[in-house]
């Protein structure tokens, strides 16, 4: 990746918080967190502008802004076509922020940017063909093909979480009309749902005792119990990881990537999630794709922010080459 020397600002805009940082080469030179993302589009734009201005005060050399959002993006227009958790649909967010801050702004899907970050600086560094899955409340997907982010015809492609792995499965989330998507069967939401069912079936387990005590059984509770050695919770991860692996085997067959990288909050479970997924890839994918490694992401919750800043650096380089 040919990068200009200037610093760039990266923003990861989530449903409840914003993470912003300034990337200087391969290092995060400045970082700040904002607790709330606002309730309407004007508050969101004001928040982004305020945080960009704060970043520029701290790092005056910042020359561009990358913005990652959990939405389907029309990349050429810098517009979210649809957004479930934020009031962004059809908001010209790129143009609005550019007009306020006076810097070039580049907007992309947050999972695309996590893939770019892991390819540029993380678990898949230097691997030109990468499938990235972010497993949290839902499942986001990003693709690096030929060393470039793949976005499809209009920038809305690589919605890997909405690949169907069980046609008669549970309904998907948000605006997806499908049943049995990998998101509906292997996300953090699915982990909590399966954990609650397991708690009801095994009242003497750690999950069963939590349920009897009136505590919430969500993905975090299942992960905590599994990491503490609870057999029932470990069995839930075996189920979730196997489902994830079914999708990974298909991705391996389609793309023959150098690696499949799994990030997001659920990756805290580590091999409890990944080993069942790896087994499914070995057993289900064709040779030699069945040898595709399934790796844990290494950049944690900063991946989206780092990827956004990396995108801004990449696009600045392209602009410079066109103008030169």
Evaluate whether residue 122 is within a structural domain: no
111 lies in the same domain as 144: no
Evaluate whether residue 1 is within a structural domain: no
Distance CA(304)–CA(299), nearest Å, equals: 9
Tokens 């790092």 belong to residue: 59
Evaluate whether residue 121 is within a structural domain: no
**Residues 11/64, Cβ–Cβ less than 8 Å:** no
Token pair of 298, please?
């290494």
199 lies in the same domain as 288: yes
103 lies in the same domain as 154: no
140 lies in the same domain as 288: yes
Q: Packing angle between helix 303-323 and helix 110-121, nearest 10 degrees? A: 80
Tokens 């794709």 belong to residue: 289
57 lies in the same domain as 137: no
Q: Global pTM? A: 0.91
Residues 61-83: tens digit of each pLDDT = 999 999 999 888 899 999 988 87
Token pair of 227, please?
């990491």
Is residue 16 predicted with pLDDT exceeding 90? no
81 lies in the same domain as 198: no
CA distances to 91, 157, 159, 283, 291 from 73, in Å: 11, 9, 11, 35, 32
187 lies in the same domain as 269: yes
| pLDDT for the residue 26 | 66
C-beta neighbour count of 27 within 10 angstroms: 10
Strands annotated E in 208-286: 259-263
| pLDDT for the residue 205 | 97
Is residue 174 predicted with pLDDT exceeding 50? yes
Evaluate whether residue 23 is within a structural domain: yes
**Residues 256/248, Cβ–Cβ less than 8 Å:** no
158 lies in the same domain as 293: yes
**Residues 241/282, Cβ–Cβ less than 8 Å:** no
Evaluate whether residue 2 is within a structural domain: no
Of 249, 262, 284, 294, which is closest to residue 115 (Cα–Cα)?
262
| pLDDT for the residue 17 | 83
169 lies in the same domain as 56: no
| pLDDT for the residue 2 | 47
| pLDDT for the residue 173 | 81
| pLDDT for the residue 14 | 83
Is residue 3 predicted with pLDDT exceeding 60? no
Domain range for 181 is: 127-297
86 lies in the same domain as 219: no
Please give the average per-residue pLDDT across 86-102, as a whole number: 91
| pLDDT for the residue 216 | 95
Evaluate whether residue 231 is within a structural domain: yes
Q: What is the CATH classification number for the domain harbouring 109?
A: 3.30.420.40
279 lies in the same domain as 318: no
293 lies in the same domain as 307: no
Evaluate whether residue 266 is within a structural domain: yes
What band does 167 get if pLDDT is binned at 50, 70 and 90? very high
Its sign, for the CA torsion 179, 183, 188, 191, is positive
| pLDDT for the residue 117 | 96
174: left (phi over 0), alpha (psi -120 to 50) or beta: left
Average pLDDT of the chain to the nearest whole number: 92
| pLDDT for the residue 34 | 63
Evaluate whether residue 161 is within a structural domain: yes
Q: What total of structural domains would you count in the chain?
A: 2
Distance CA(196)–CA(219), nearest Å, equals: 10
Give the residues across from 261 on adjacent strands: 132, 295
């Amino acid at each position: 990746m040919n990068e200009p020397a200037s610093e760039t600002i990266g923003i990861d805009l989530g449903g409840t918080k914003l993470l912003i940082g300034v990337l200087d080469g391969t290092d995060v030179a400045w970082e700040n967190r904002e607790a709330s993302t606002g309730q309407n589009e004007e508050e969101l734009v004001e928040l982004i502008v305020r945080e960009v201005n704060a970043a520029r005060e701290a790092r005056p050399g910042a020359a561009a802004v990358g913005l990652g959002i959990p939405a389907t993006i029309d990349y050429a227009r810098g517009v979210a076509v649809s957004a479930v958790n934020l009031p962004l649909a059809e908001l010209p967010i790129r143009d609005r922020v550019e007009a306020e801050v006076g810097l070039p702004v580049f907007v992309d899907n947050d999972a695309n940017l996590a893939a770019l970050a892991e390819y540029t600086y993380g678990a898949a560094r230097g691997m030109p063909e990468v499938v990235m899955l972010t497993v949290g409340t839902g499942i986001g997907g990003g693709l690096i093909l030929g060393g470039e982010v793949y976005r499809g015809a209009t920038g809305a492609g690589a919605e890997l979480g909405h690949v169907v792995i069980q046609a008669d499965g549970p309904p998907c989330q948000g605006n997806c009309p499908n049943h049995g998507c990998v998101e509906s069967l292997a996300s953090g939401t699915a982990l909590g749902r399966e954990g609650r069912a397991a708690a009801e079936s095994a009242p003497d387990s750690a999950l069963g005792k939590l349920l009897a005590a009136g505590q919430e059984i969500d993905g975090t509770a299942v992960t905590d119990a599994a990491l503490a050695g609870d057999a029932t919770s470990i069995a839930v991860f075996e189920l979730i990881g196997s489902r994830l692996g079914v999708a990974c085997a298909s991705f391996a067959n389609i793309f023959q990537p150098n690696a499949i990288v799994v990030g997001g909050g659920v990756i805290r479970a580590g091999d409890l999630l990944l080993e069942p997924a790896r087994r499914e890839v070995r057993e289900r994918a064709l040779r030699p794709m069945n040898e595709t490694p399934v790796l844990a992401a290494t950049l944690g919750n900063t991946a989206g922010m780092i990827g956004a800043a990396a995108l801004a650096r990449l696009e600045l380089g392209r602009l410079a080459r066109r103008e030169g």
